Amino acid sequence: MPLHPQAKQLLEIFGSLGLKGLKPADGNAQTVRDMFVNFPRPEGVAVGSVVAAKVPGSGGDIPVRIYTPPSVLITRPGLVWFHGGGWVFGDLESADATARALCMAADCVVVSVDYRLAPETKFPGAADDCYAVTKWAAENAAQLRIDAKRIAVGGDSAGGNLAAVVAQMAKAQGPELSFQLLVYPVTDATFGTVSYRDNALNYLLEKVDMEWFWECYLRTPADAKDPKAAPLQAADLSGLPPALVITAEFDPLRDEGEAYAAKLKAAGVPTECTRYDGMIHGFFGNAALDDGTKAIGQAAASMKRAWAHN
């Protein structure tokens, strides 16, 4: 279908602010970080409490924010959330509105992770940080008022990549996870899909951006074959937790996200895959887009169904 009018309007607003693609002209990661620090952000919904904490990691303490719905003394499921930004930018602030929305819609404790960024920290630093926080959440579930048997991981874009990777790591090393929420995830380091061809330009995330993100993140080209970087490269996906994969029609990452969903299904993993037609990368949780709110609701409903069986 054609580009949704709301998505088209959003792209026009981005264009008026000088934002066409995400790779800065000077190729400096700090440039894109500075740009997004000053970018307008919607105010998120109210939650019961927001608490800052630090989790020990192999590269130092990892900052997190813990979002709890009202009635903080109730034990609830937990979602460990990893923000997007191509492993290069993004932080707890950029993830705040989405974390709040998921906390309230799914009635769960959300632990949002401020993992180390590339290129200062190369692969597998971000994945190691995200796994460390997931393990910490399981080990400290009682203090966090989280049901240790109902812990999910999730993320958008590069965060979706990290969620898929952490799910694979947890399968091998624990803890046992109950769900994975993969929102237009990066799953492979190849750029030859139809969606890369058709959506290479003009839809916010561009092919050149992803090429640059991977260049920033990986240590060597050989890392692109490592499932810890590119989860689609994993030989065996059986035994992973149930998944919801969300993709957008006008997104270079569409096909690799859907390929990962298909591979999960083929491995016997209960998997739901939904493409939001007319939408662009970054739509999830965007209050300016009806489908952004709808997708939050779908994610919450899918997690609740999975948690009902745990």
Catalytic residue numbers read 157, 251, 281
Contact call for residues 26 and 34 (beta carbons, < 8 A):
no
Q: Is residue 173 within a helix (H) or strand (E), and if so which, with residue range?
A: helix 158-173
Rounded to whole angstroms, the Cα distance separating 193 from 187 reads 12
Rounded to whole angstroms, the Cα distance separating 250 from 152 reads 27
Rounded to whole angstroms, the Cα distance separating 152 from 138 reads 10
| Strand bridging mode 109-113 / 271-280 | unpaired
Contact call for residues 171 and 184 (beta carbons, < 8 A):
no
Compute CA distances 44 → 6, 97, 286, whole Å.
Answer: 20, 4, 10
| Cβ neighbours, 10 Å, residue 223 | 17
Rounded to whole angstroms, the Cα distance separating 122 from 81 reads 20
Rounded to whole angstroms, the Cα distance separating 258 from 178 reads 21
- Strand (E) positions, 103-184? 109-113, 146-156, 179-183
List, in order, residues 6 or more apart from 81 with CB less than 8 Å away: 95, 98, 99, 102, 110, 111, 112, 113, 153, 154, 155, 159
- Residue 160: closest CA among 244, 65, 93, 236: 244
